[in-house]
Amino acid sequence: MSAGVGWDREAMARRVAEDIPDGSYVNLGIGIPELVARFVPEGRELVYHTENGLLGMGPSPAEGEGDPELINAGKRRVTANPGASYFHQSDSFAMIRGGHLDLCVLGALQVAENGDLANWSTGGEDAIPAVGGAMDLAAGVKSIYVVTQHTTKEGEAKLVERCTYPLTGLGVVDRVYTDLAVIEVTPEGFRLVELAPGATLEMVRERTGARVLEPARTAGAG
């Protein structure tokens, strides 16, 4: 990617945060999704859920501080905000599977144009299989936003017609935030919502392994 084109990791996280409504209960996955918490627009209050058993997760404490028994799903030390609560795993996944969370922001290996998500395994012979809560989140949370680089480090498309990696969930992804664009998953396939600075629709199409439709012109059209 040429310099100055697209969003960096922080900008991607900031762009996701802009779209989260005030008062939402949100589960943030590991990696770029974790950064989203830093960019909540002024005046909005969001409650973060971490599936190991905390609602009302606050930022990580300074290095070397905090409690080894107060951690997030990535096993990093965090804090608890005023109004927080602790609960056991079965309650935590009742929140997830029971549809009580409004939104989950996850990373991805691949997203297909029908909304299929692959984010837990490349299926390689040598890989140690590990899934954590990804499949429960995919199956249970009302909206799933994916935040990911548009392509792999090798330049392969991560937005594809059909996932080739083992699936996490079927038809679950609503939106994808990449370094190049915001794309929604519609019944017709991927549709551009917004381009990152310097990016063009042609550039996005070249790097996507499926059709990318032009933005909807007016609300309610078609």
Could you give the residue numbers annotated as active site? 51
Query: Using CA atoms, how far apart are residues 25 and 35, in angstroms rounded to an integer?
Result: 16
Under the binding rule (CB under 8 A), the answer on residue 34 touching other proteins is no
Q: Which residue number, 96 or 199, has a Cβ lying nearer to other proteins?
A: 96
Under the binding rule (CB under 8 A), the answer on residue 96 touching other proteins is yes
Under the binding rule (CB under 8 A), the answer on residue 80 touching other proteins is yes
CB 107 within 8 A of CB 34: no
Query: Using CA atoms, how far apart are residues 10 and 16, in angstroms rounded to an integer?
Result: 10
DSSP letter string, 90-116 = HHHHHHHHTT--SEEEE--SEEETT--
Q: Which residue number, 21 or 59, has a Cβ lying nearer to other proteins?
A: 59
Under the binding rule (CB under 8 A), the answer on residue 157 touching other proteins is no
The 105-144 site mask, x for binding other proteins (CB under 8 A), equals ----------------x----x-xxxxxxxxx--xx----
Q: Which residue number, 41 or 99, has a Cβ lying nearer to other proteins?
A: 99
Under the binding rule (CB under 8 A), the answer on residue 70 touching other proteins is yes
Report the DSSP beta bridge partners of residue 182: 177, 194
In this chain, which of 89, 122, 164, 200 binds other proteins, going by CB under 8 A?
89
Q: How far is the CB of 105 from other proteins (least distance, A)?
A: 17
Under the binding rule (CB under 8 A), the answer on residue 62 touching other proteins is no
Residues 6+ apart with CB under 8 A from 146: 105, 106, 107, 108, 111, 117, 119, 173, 175, 176, 177
Under the binding rule (CB under 8 A), the answer on residue 29 touching other proteins is no
If binding means CB under 8 A, how many residues of this protein chain bind other proteins? 39
| Cβ neighbours of 69 (radius 10 Å) | 7
Q: Which two tokens stand for residue 100?
A: 């009580």
Query: Using CA atoms, how far apart are residues 37 and 79, in angstroms rounded to an integer?
Result: 13
> Which positions lie near other proteins, rule CB under 8 A?
50-54, 67-71, 75, 80, 86-90, 92-93, 96-97, 121, 126, 128-136, 139-140, 166-170
